Amino acid sequence: MEMHRHELTFRATAETDILDITSQIAELVGRSGVTEGQVLVFTPGSTAGVTTLEFEPGAVADLKRAFEQLAPAGGQYQHNLRWGDGNGYSHVRAALLGPSLTVPVAGGRLVLGTWQQIILCDFDNKPNRERRVVVRVMGR
C-alpha cells in the first residue's frame, strides 16, 4: 500500500467561510498515482470542519443558516466567558460538523456523487486566518 501526505492552506474571513476544495483534493489524488484506495481530508484545529455538499449558492446559504440556527454567533457561550475571544459558536459548529472526511478512490478518481463536492467550513471569527488541510492518499 502506498501513502502520500500533502498539506493545503486556505485563507478565510470571519464570516463562516464554506470553500469547495474538491478540485485540489482530486489533483492530489491524481498526482499520487493511487488508483484504488481512499483519501483522508482533515483540518487541524477546533473551529473548522470538513464535509460534502452540493456546492451551489442555495445549498451554501441553507447550510450557513442551519449553523446559525444551531449555534448562533450572538449566543451565550461559556467558552467566551472563560477566554473572552467571542468564538464559542465556532467551536460548537466545528464539533457538530467534525474535522475529517474519508472518500473512496476508484480508477484513480474520487468516488463522489454527481452533485457532491468536498467542502471546508471555517467558523472562526478571526479575519484573514490561514486554515490548513492535511490530505492522506492511501491505496495501490
- Give tens-digit pLDDT for 6-32: 999 999 999 999 999 999 999 999 999
Domain ranges of the chain: 2-139
Q: What is the pLDDT of residue 120?
A: 98
Q: Three cell numbers at 121? A: 467550513
Angle ∠(71,95,51) on CA atoms, nearest 5: 100
H or E segment to which residue 114 belongs: none
Q: What is the pLDDT of residues 42-80, one digit of tens each?
A: 999 999 999 999 999 999 999 999 999 999 999 999 999
**What fold does the segment set 2-139 form as a domain?**
Jelly Rolls (2.60.120)
Q: What is the pLDDT of residue 28?
A: 98
pTM of the model: 0.96
Label residue 125 by pLDDT band (50, 70, 90).
very high
Q: What is the pLDDT of residue 117?
A: 98
Q: Mean of the per-residue pLDDT values for the chain?
A: 97
Alpha carbons 133 and 42: distance in angstroms, whole number: 6
Q: What is the pLDDT of residues 85-99, one digit of tens each?
A: 999 999 999 999 999
